[in-house]
Amino acid sequence: MRTPFIAGNWKMHKTVNEAEAFLKELLNKDLPSGVDAAICAPFIHLDRLVKGTNESIGIGAENGHFEDQGAFTGEVSIDSLSDLGVDYVIIGHSERREMFNETDEDVNKKVLKALEKDVIPIVCCGETLEERENNTYTEKITTQIEAAFKGVSESDAKKVVVAYEPIWAIGTGKSATSEDANLMCQLVRETIEKLFNKDVSEAVRIQYGGSVKPENVKEYMSEPHIDGALVGGASLEVESFVSLLEGAKNE
């Protein structure tokens, strides 16, 4: 059975001191067992968070560059994240793809580099409202997954986390129904099976993201192909984050 996994994507929120205070408060809570948890935070927060956490809360970056070093002003290498002790890195979030023109090829390079450096990639995929309405969304998701896993070995593929996030449901208050989200996560799993085999596809954890809250997380987690959530706004408050973990427990 796949272990449920809740990851908070803080985006560009909190100061370093606020992040440190959040983590201290979170670690003082009685956190549920049997659920993996991670906080993915801005680069400047990571050193304090890595030093301040314990085995119950993983720490992730929100992005990383596939080159180890070079003339890439403003970028941070996945090699540096690994050296810092970061556990996860979000790759290909829709905001990176849409606002910063990241391509499927960029995503693939980052996935391969993260796996090389023993950082677990959380690979995002998702369709726009236009793609949903004109029925090209299955092709969009399939293409993104095929590109992301290009050149990845079977053993490494099992380590990858995929986050299905319909772009029209991110930060809008809208969310896919649990049935729709499950069908899309099933599509991701079936695509991975075609690329590798059933053993690999059954090992990969697939999260749903898009206006997930404590009030609806149980509904999503009850679906067979949804193994967790990549959560934005609802991960910014300690009590809310704990509630998400509670809601993700295998009943």
Phi then psi for residue 207, to 5 deg, are -95, 155
| Residue 232 annotated in ligand binding | yes
- Is residue 54 part of an annotated ligand binding site? no
pLDDT for res 251: 63
Instruction: Give the pLDDT score at 206.
Output: 98
pLDDT under 70: residue ranges of the chain: 171-173, 175, 251
What is the pLDDT, as a whole number, of residue 168? 79
CA distance 208 to 126: 10
Euclidean distance between CA atoms 8 and 6, whole angstroms: 7
Q: Catalytic one among 62, 102, 131, 165?
A: 165
Is 45 a residue of the active site?
A: no
Nearest to 123 by CA among 146, 100, 151: 146
Whole-angstrom Cα distance, residue 124 to residue 19?
24
pLDDT at position 220:
95
Three-state secondary structure readout of 108-174: HHHHHHHHHCCCEEEEEECCCHHHHHCCCHHHHHHHHHHHHCCCCCHHHHCCCEEEECCHHHCCCCC
Correct CATH for 5-248 of 3.20.20.70, 3.10.180.10, 3.40.50.1370, 3.40.50.150: 3.20.20.70
Annotation says 165 is catalytic:
yes
**Whole-structure pTM value:** 0.95
